[in-house]
Each structure stands twice: as structure tokens, then as C-alpha cells.
Amino acid sequence: MTWGANRGLIEGMDDALRAADRDRDDVAAILREQYAQGRLTMEEYDERSTAAASAKTMGDLRVLTADLPATPEPSGAPAWSRGRMRWIAVAGVLATVALLVGAAFAGHFLLAFPTWLVVLIIVRHAHGGRRFPQARGPRTGRG
């Protein structure tokens, strides 16, 4: 469960309901995230997390997060688009080829061996990481 969903569960409950261990754990996760983002000092975090561990009702837990903003749910979209990743791969291959050509003209082609390894890894990754096409159907033995 994500942080934003936890916050919604805590706010949607009656204050008089008894808190479960899961509810206390959810509030502790919220407090950890808020501390990591710099909204709570170490003392405030210690104080509130101790109070969360000993909370009896949902109202006790709600008070601990009432003055903290709700963090939006992270989107499932990747940080970089496919097009951008493709351009990064193309730029990497061009830079590697330029390095190999430069090493070849300088007479130090054997010193560029690690660069060949990088090119092979990029090409293999571009083809899905498979060396050979996958066989179709059951395998039959000889004979």
C-alpha cells in the first residue's frame, strides 16, 4: 500500500475505532516519509513515532499526521520515455564508435578492447538480451 492510500484510510475512519497494528505501522511509514522529506525534526519524529506505537484509537493516530501534507501518489510512468532512451543508446554507440576509430588511427587499437565489450553489451541489450532466436515447439532428441 502506498503512502497516499494509507493517509486516506486513516482520515476516513471514525476517531473512536480501535487502531490495529497495521494502522500504527501505516502511520509510522507516513512519519518516516515526512521525516525523510525534512518536514519533521528528529525529536518530532521520535515523539510522534512513539505515540503512534502506543495509540489506542484512530483519532490518536489522526492527530499525529493532521498537520502534515498529503503526498501525491507516484505515477507509474517511467522517468525517461522510450524515445529518450533510444537517443541515449544511439549517442552511446556513436561515442563508442568514435573512440574506436580514434584509437585505430592512433595505432592503439588493442587498447580499445574494453570499448568493444561495451559495444557488444549495447547491441545485445538492444536485441532483448537473447543471442539466438527461441525455438518453437517441443525439442526432439536424436535417435
**What's the pLDDT tens digit per position in 14-23?**
778 898 899 9
Question: Model confidence at 2, in pLDDT bands (50, 70, 90)?
Answer: very low
Nearest to 47 by CA among 36, 31, 34: 31
**d(C-alpha 67, C-alpha 25), whole Å:** 19
Q: Which three cell numbers stand for residue 101?
A: 576509430
Helical (H) or strand (E) element with 39: none
pTM, two decimal places: 0.46
Q: What is the mean pLDDT of residues 131-138?
A: 55
The arithmetic mean of pLDDT across residues 90-119, rounded, is 73
What gap in Å lies between CA 47 and CA 103, rounded to an integer? 62
Cell of residue 22, nine digits: 497495521
Considering only residues 35 and 70, tell me which one the structure prediction assigns the higher pLDDT.
35
Query: Which cell is 73 given?
Result: 501518489
Average pLDDT over residues 25-42: 91
Question: Residue 52 has what pLDDT?
Answer: 92
Residue-wise pLDDT for 43-93, tens only, equals 999 999 999 999 999 989 999 988 888 765 556 666 778 888 888 888 888
